[in-house]
A and B are shown apart, each in its own frame.
Chain A
Amino acid sequence: MPVQSILVTNEAGLHARPAAEFVKEANRHTASIQVRNLTTGSAWADAKSILSVLTLGVERGHEIEISTQGEGEVEALEALLHLLRTNFDGRL
């Protein structure tokens, strides 16, 4: 069950488009994916649910933690981290 934290650096945090792209990417993987906002000390939320991700209130400069479990868990984690590291890889 890989877990990793990452600093959110893109302008809008995980609101609007970025949140939607994050959730769309999560839904491309079969592993179950949880995410929480370390900066606000939130509970774990379902990364495949746009409403759950929005309610984490992730803003630029917040640190989040992603945890994946099940089939393809390593790839799933890497794909989401890649999105965040590359300002959503040109998808915005």
Chain B
Amino acid sequence: MQRLNGIAAAAGLAMGKAVRLIEFNLPLPSQTATEPKAEKERLQTALEQANAQLQALAEQVATRVGASEAQVFEAQRMFLSDPALMRKAEEHLSTGAEAGYAWYSACEFYAHQLESLEDETLRARAADVRDVAQRMLLALHGNAPRQTFEEGSILLARDLTPSQTATLDTTKVLAFCTAEGGPTSHTAILAKALGLPAVVGLGEAILEIEDGSLLLVDGTQGEVIAAPDEETRQAFLGRQQAMHAQRNAAMARAHEPAITQDGKRIHVMANIGNLDEIKNALQHGAEGVGLLRTEFLFLGRETPPQEEDQFKVYTNILTQFAGHPVIARTLDVGGDKFIPYLHLPKETNPYLGYRAIRISLNEPEAFKTQLRALLRAARLGKLRMMLPMVATLEEMRATKALLEEARQELSARGASFNPYMPVGMMVEVPAAALLAERFAQEVHFFSIGTNDLTQYTFAAERGNPRLAYLNDPCHPAILRLIERVTDAGRLADIWVGVCGEMAGDPEAIPLLLGLGVTELSMSPSLIPAAKEVVRTWRLEDARALAQEALRLSSAEEVRQAVRQAQPKTFN
């Protein structure tokens, strides 16, 4: 038995037989051909074929994974119709080159150009150009061996490129395991598109496993076990069946409330960033919107949206969530989000820069437009507003002064609105968590944004793969900040929710319950499983676990403690 650890790239469990991907290097086509005109025609036919393959791939990825993941395949399609690339290829054709050689040489020319650029993301595009070259060679010399698989195969490869999938029969493959690649590699995207578990970055060892060996692939934990003993195999089978049953049960009970074993109701809500996500949220049992990112109303326009436009959108969302609360976060731009009409300068440290409430308070007219729209919509349903990135009490009070002005403006023109709309704040700046008991006197609720809170507490940007170890909100340092906020909430008798990724993490949920969080808001697809986790716990046990976790010294220790304390019904 051999255990290999890699990176979890696509969740799920699979058991099957190892099959090594046959890697073939296409022979570089001969340089010369006799008839340039015939070669041009071959090239055209191959371009059409490659284009159709990429289009199908892009559509599949867009439906099963997401439109943004499909973009890379759309970009590859654009290379196929690139006039400059075609001109280069034609130059080679006119000197008597064979079609494949002409295309390959043209692609190499641009791949080299891209590689010489300073920007890392642009340099990475060279691989895409080369992959298009490979795809075209396959189309032109279509005698590449098409590897066939038996039912229940687990594919082992160094890495998978989109062009390799052109010759892969994936219908009988249960999982992918690769030596290289990261969580955002093509392999990960393709696996998710196909709904298969995948573990990547397993190193050379995975390529040394003999064909036909029995493999257990855990795409959730990022582990692969080769030639397991009977006990391990049985345990894995048990987990697989339990996971299956669990998923079905969660979905079946998605619309029921999440109540702990000892009777505490936890509100499980959806994070939403545009109107298209509403349907999905309702289907997964969302009990309202815990975080409505209002940026979608403001992005991609030349002028700010009018009060009336905003009012209509808020009303529409309230109607669709009939009777459930909707928490609208006021405009949160800056950082990674950019709005042209605000003329924001480029900053060296955008996450520590001019953003969110800092901008709103400096643009009072635009801010009041949003406040008026919210106040009016709040008359028609359970609308609450919350403020992003609050760091000081002065910011909170300045906002309240503007809110009062907005109320007076509405009264003056005789508009109907709800003057008592609850006002809460996001706790995502450590300063706000540290002064939570003071803020609690000013607001109706707290919603902890654990992504930013973690990033700011560890002084480590979220997207940086080298700093991933500083990105776990289960770290005791973050738990202690959360505890300060929930303690402050309890004393002031206001509720505390969490709307960061932590809220949907099954291992983090008992900790949050134990600390006194009563509302969890997350991506819609995570809701059914999160409700199930709540249902397995007794609040009393969760409290004991949270108290223990607060005294530990690393995120890993905390997660270990959660796993050990897990109620038996939860696998």
Within the assembled complex, what's the spacing in Å between the Cα atoms of A15 and B118?
13
Partner of A90 from the list B85, B113, B301, B346 (CB cut-off 8 Å) is B301
Flag if A86 contacts B71 (CB, 8 Å). no
* Distance (whole angstroms) from the CB of B210 to the closest CB of chain A: 41
Flag if A23 contacts B338 (CB, 8 Å). no
Residues in A with CB closer than 8 Å to B121 are 15-16
Partner of A11 from the list B83, B85, B129, B338 (CB cut-off 8 Å) is B338
- Tell yes or no: A28 within 8 A of B by CB: no
**What is the total number of residues of chain A having a CB less than 8 Å from a CB of chain B?**
29
- Tell yes or no: A50 within 8 A of B by CB: yes
- Tell yes or no: B401 within 8 A of A by CB: no
* Distance (whole angstroms) from the CB of B177 to the closest CB of chain A: 29
Flag if A55 contacts B117 (CB, 8 Å). yes
Residues in A with CB closer than 8 Å to B129 are 51
Residues in A with CB closer than 8 Å to B85 are 49, 51
Give the secondary structure class of B's interface.
helix
* Distance (whole angstroms) from the CB of B332 to the closest CB of chain A: 15
Flag if B114 contacts A54 (CB, 8 Å). yes
Stretch of B41-49, B74-82, B402-410, B434-442 lying at the A interface: B74-82
Highest count of chain B CB atoms <10 Å: which of A11, A54, A86: A54
**What is the total number of residues of chain B having a CB less than 8 Å from a CB of chain A?**
28
Shortest Cβ distance from A59 into B: residue: B119
Flag if B71 contacts A17 (CB, 8 Å). yes
- Tell yes or no: B380 within 8 A of A by CB: no
Flag if B83 contacts A49 (CB, 8 Å). yes
Flag if A87 contacts B340 (CB, 8 Å). yes
Contact digits for A76-92, partner B, Cβ 8 Å, 1 yes 0 no: 00000000011111111
- Tell yes or no: B339 within 8 A of A by CB: yes
Partner of B122 from the list A45, A48, A54, A92 (CB cut-off 8 Å) is A54
Within the assembled complex, what's the spacing in Å between the Cα atoms of A49 and B113?
14
Flag if B78 contacts A57 (CB, 8 Å). no
Shortest Cβ distance from A90 into B: residue: B300
Flag if B300 contacts A20 (CB, 8 Å). no
Partner of B79 from the list A11, A16, A50 (CB cut-off 8 Å) is A50
Flag if A20 contacts B117 (CB, 8 Å). no
Partner of A9 from the list B82, B125, B340 (CB cut-off 8 Å) is B340
Q: List 28 A-B contacts (CB under 8 A).
A: A9-B338, A9-B340, A10-B338, A15-B122, A16-B71, A16-B121, A49-B85, A50-B75, A51-B84, A51-B85, A51-B113, A51-B114, A52-B84, A54-B122, A55-B110, A55-B113, A57-B117, A57-B118, A57-B119, A60-B346, A85-B302, A86-B301, A86-B302, A86-B340, A87-B338, A89-B300, A90-B300, A92-B300
**12 additional contacts (CB under 8 A) given A48-B83, A49-B83:** A9-B340, A11-B338, A15-B122, A20-B71, A20-B78, A51-B129, A61-B346, A86-B340, A87-B338, A87-B339, A87-B340, A90-B300
Residues of B within 8 A of A (CB): 71, 74-75, 78-79, 82-85, 110, 113-114, 117-119, 121-122, 125, 129, 299-302, 336, 338-340, 346
